[in-house]
Structure 1
């Protein structure tokens, strides 16, 4: 699948995935210009073993519930930016209805129609987009 292929590409380029591992801390050092840069991280596996790993670049895929990780990063003055919040709702439409709407007659001779739902709303002067994702035409 797509995710497996992405992971394999990252591994081929020298990346490492550490599942069931907790990031305990990270250490920085000053470079020749006095800027902080990542030196190493400390991780703990699910058996309680801790390991110090040299590291100059770190990508975290923590999910939304890793409050302990965010607190630790905040205390180390790591620059962070809040991501926009998204919520999903399931909307189901019969493929026959989509085909009829998109093809405007005689859809039985055509492949399943593709479509998306979008809407822009304005509240208190702020425009927000509402959009569909994970569309499975014909599925």
Structure 2
């Protein structure tokens, strides 16, 4: 009888492991707190707060953008914005200056948990087609072709 009890316990434990693995596979990748913003505009409010007003978004932008001028433009933009999309595992938010979108715009590519962001800034009064400045981790900047992406 002891062998039967041990066999039963082992089979039960194996079934529990399989069930736990199935649950993880069904659930998919973990969602971050910012995922609720997918499909919403940065200027929309959820629970009374805009996307840019979220503490994790503010902190991530401040962490990579040393320029007060650029931060002020991103947080205080006065023009249109596009729905936030998920791209390459990050949320991508975009906005621009009213009546000057082609020449003055920004993007934030942020992890769903808000722990890491890259910020794009574009301003060129002469042409609307780039290059843009990207603020990335480690206090670095990169020049990339074109305006800041909205999708």
Higher helix share: 2
| Structure with more relative contact order (C-alpha pairs < 8 Å, separation 6 or more) | 2
Q: What's the TM-score once normalised by structure 1's chain length?
A: 0.22
Q: TM-score, normalised by structure 2?
A: 0.21
